[in-house]
Amino acid sequence: MDNTGKRPRVGLFVTCLVDLIRPTVGFAAVKLLEDAGCIVEVPAAQVCCGQPAYNSGDRADARDVARAVIEAFEGFDYVVAPSGSCAGMIRLHYPELFAEDAAMMPRVHHLANRTHELVSFLVDVMGVKFVAARYDGTITYHDSCSGLREMGVKAQPRALLGTVAGLTIKELPGAETCCGFGGTFCVKYPEISNRMVGDKAKDVAGTGADTLLAGDLGCLMNMAGKFTRDGVDVKVRHVAEVLADMAGDVPPIGRAK
């Protein structure tokens, strides 16, 4: 990577799930961003993007939580999240959330316009063409909905995965079909969600891949949880773990050491 220009200051939005369940994804993001030439900082005041409240129809709480994010991430060149869903929330939905608050709007847009999903940021903004990583195995890739349809994440992870030594990609039929997570949906409508993730498990198993990757921890936990429950022998990981060469640091999601 060419570092002769000014190194951008990136605020890492860790996301609440990565913080709680899988910090390794956060460290993988830090490594990938630093390798790409960024200066990475992690504002301590961050909690959550507010999506649980927003999607439950609770705009007031969503706005309060969002306001804290806007304050915490003021002044960075970019804000990057290892999640298309959280990045999409900030980039596309914050402006809608504060539509009635004219005074906030400049700050909202300022943040929204510089917020990115991790892998697309690396490729599209930082111009990363390859990663120094090794993963011996055949992977398949699920396109998480928000990343795909809100943030345009599709080719970027495949491009970088193509440069990982030892790794083979097998495309997943129905890769763009929702896995049934949907935030609170999966607990509000467990039977429907189960059907959707069950279909996904069949598609994944059908590829013959030994590992499933995706860019959003919510979807990954949903699929990993279904796999272990139903005995589907496919490892599940966040794409950043593989790209950062950190798959050796932790067992796959939902598996023991």
Partner 1 sequence: MSLALHPTSKAFKANARAALKNETLQRAMGHLGFAQKRLEAVGRLPEFEALRDQARDIKNHTLQHLDFYLEHYEEKLRQSGGEVHWCRTPEEARQAILSICRSVGARTITKGKTMVAEEIALNPFLEANGVAPVETDLGEYIIQLRDEPPSHIIAPAIHVTKEQVADTFLEKHAAYGKTKLLSEPREMLEEARGILREKFLGADVGLTGANFLIAETGSSIIVTNEGNGDLTQLLPRVHIVLATPEKMVPTLEDVSTILRLLARSATGQEFSVYTTVSTGPKRPQDIDGPEQYHVVILDNGRTAMLGTAFQDMLRCIRCSACLNHCPVYNAIGGHAYGWVYPGPMGSVLTPGLIGVDQAGALPNASTFCGKCESVCPMKIPLPGMMRHWREREYEQRLSPPAQRWGLAAWAFAAKRPRLYRLLTGLAARVLGLWGRRHGNMHNLPLAGGWTQFRDFPAPEGKTFHQLWSERGQR
CA–CA gap between residue 216 and residue 50 (Å, rounded): 16
User: Considering only residues 7, 9, 61, 173, which one is a binding residue for partner 1 as defined by CB under 8 A?
Assistant: 61
How many CA atoms does the CB half-sphere of 2 hold within 13 Å? Answer: 5
Chain residues 162-181 in contact with partner 1, contact rule CB under 8 A = 176-178, 180-181
CA–CA gap between residue 195 and residue 172 (Å, rounded): 18
Task: Give the residue from 33, 27, 73, 28 showing the smallest Cα distance to 50.
Answer: 73
Chain residues 180-199 in contact with partner 1, contact rule CB under 8 A = 180-197, 199
Q: How far is the CB of 168 from partner 1 (least distance, A)?
A: 25
Residue 205 binding partner 1, by CB under 8 A: no
Residue 129 binding partner 1, by CB under 8 A: no
Residue 63 binding partner 1, by CB under 8 A: no
Residue 95 binding partner 1, by CB under 8 A: no
CA–CA gap between residue 181 and residue 178 (Å, rounded): 8
Residue 120 binding partner 1, by CB under 8 A: no
Toward partner 1, which CB reaches closer, 168 or 185? 185
CA–CA gap between residue 30 and residue 140 (Å, rounded): 24
The answer to whether residues 32 and 240 touch, using CB atoms and an 8 Å cutoff, is: yes
Residue 20 binding partner 1, by CB under 8 A: yes
Residue 56 binding partner 1, by CB under 8 A: yes
Toward partner 1, which CB reaches closer, 168 or 189? 189
